[in-house]
Amino acid sequence: MNHEEQVRDYRAAVERALDHLLPPATVQPRRLHEAMRYAVLGDGKRIRPILTYATGEALGVPRHILNPPACAVELIHAYSLIHDDLPAMDDDDLRRGRPTCHRAFDEATAILAGDALQALAFRSLAHGELPGVGAAQRLAMVEHLADASGSRGMVGGQALDLDAVGRDLSLAELENMHIHKTGALIRASVRLGALASPEAGEDLMEQLDQYAKCVGLAFQVRDDILDVEGDTAVIGKPQGSDMAANKPTYTSLLGLEGARETCDRLYRKAIESLEPLGAGAETLRWLARYIIQREK
């Protein structure tokens, strides 16, 4: 299997597992369940669960054991997108090329769908079958996901982001915002995959964390580049929307060329971090490349 096929396979695996985990739309409260399924089962890239699978498999963990953490990170991501699109936040009508959840349903249903997806993420970790994973590791997964999602992680980053609209940020402030808003969940995606392996000692965890930090930031720099030069139809949201909202971005602070150089530097550092993993980490290397070259 080449890397594209491998990643397609991971995507299909998490989509199957999510479909199974989400309550059926035929079960009451139907509209809420429909909204949850609508938000999760659309056309996502599934980068976070793919990172979980690729990290776990690089450490020899069988694929099916990675389903619960892979679902958990994607559910947190899906909830964050629903809430991010709400009128009180970014007020967006379009996500993944379709109406946002509150547009397709209504605002109250969208808020509740996000809340319920967050709860389901933690249920996936608490209840999911994790043969060979000890109770301490399972608890560590819960703790890492909670930290990455909460006020010291993604939600904190979102607060910094909302605070920054219309204000000039320094490069350090911009980076700090992204490290929390997007980086924390990407780091958790890698960490949860590694926690499924009894092999992963502290040193290896450190190296993987370095990889995840670089990939997380590179992901955001690429996002800012796409906002300038991407194609609305491909990126699934209006091109230029960050600029229009007067949001600080890497491209506004560094210029397009500077942002590209930053992306390349982060890519090289990500690859260096994987050295101790040898050939087993090829998919993680491919993913780092994919993230800095992606068109959507």
The residues binding ligand FPP (CB under 6 A) are 44-45, 47, 77, 80-81, 83-84, 89, 96, 154-155, 158, 181-182, 223
Q: Which listed option, Mg ion, ligand FPP, none, makes contact with residue 154 (CB within 5 to 8 Å by class)?
A: ligand FPP
Tokens of 57: 């498999």
Minimal distance, residue 114 CB to ligand FPP, in Å: 8
User: Given the complex with Mg ion, which of 54 and 221 has the nearer CB atom?
Assistant: 221
Of 10, 20, 12, 6, whose CA–CA distance to 128 is shortest?
20
Terminal C-alpha separation, the chain: 24
Residues 74-93 that bind Mg ion (CB under 5 A): 84, 90
User: Given the complex with Mg ion, which of 74 and 90 has the nearer CB atom?
Assistant: 90
Q: At what angle do helices 250-273 and 202-229 cross, to 10 degrees?
A: 150
User: Given the complex with ligand FPP, which of 207 and 220 has the nearer CB atom?
Assistant: 220
Pairwise CA distance, residues 246 & 178, whole Å: 16
Tokens of 44: 């996502």
Minimal distance, residue 249 CB to Mg ion, in Å: 13
User: Given the complex with ligand FPP, which of 110 and 130 has the nearer CB atom?
Assistant: 110
User: Given the complex with Mg ion, which of 46 and 247 has the nearer CB atom?
Assistant: 247
Task: Report the sign of the C-alpha dihedral through residues 258, 264, 266, 269, in that order.
Answer: negative
Report the SS3 class of residue 99.
strand
Q: Which listed option, ligand FPP, Mg ion, none, makes contact with residue 44 (CB within 5 to 8 Å by class)?
A: ligand FPP
Q: Which residue has the CB atom at the shortest distance from Mg ion?
A: 90
Please classify residue 125 by burial: count the beta carbons closer than 10 Å to its beta carbon, then call 0-12 exposed, 13-18 middle and 19+ buried.
Answer: buried
Minimal distance, residue 239 CB to Mg ion, in Å: 14
- Cα separations (Å) of 7 from 4, 11, 175, 252, 277? 5, 6, 28, 32, 19
Q: Which listed option, ligand FPP, Mg ion, none, makes contact with residue 96 (CB within 5 to 8 Å by class)?
A: ligand FPP
User: Given the complex with ligand FPP, which of 22 and 154 has the nearer CB atom?
Assistant: 154
Minimal distance, residue 262 CB to Mg ion, in Å: 21
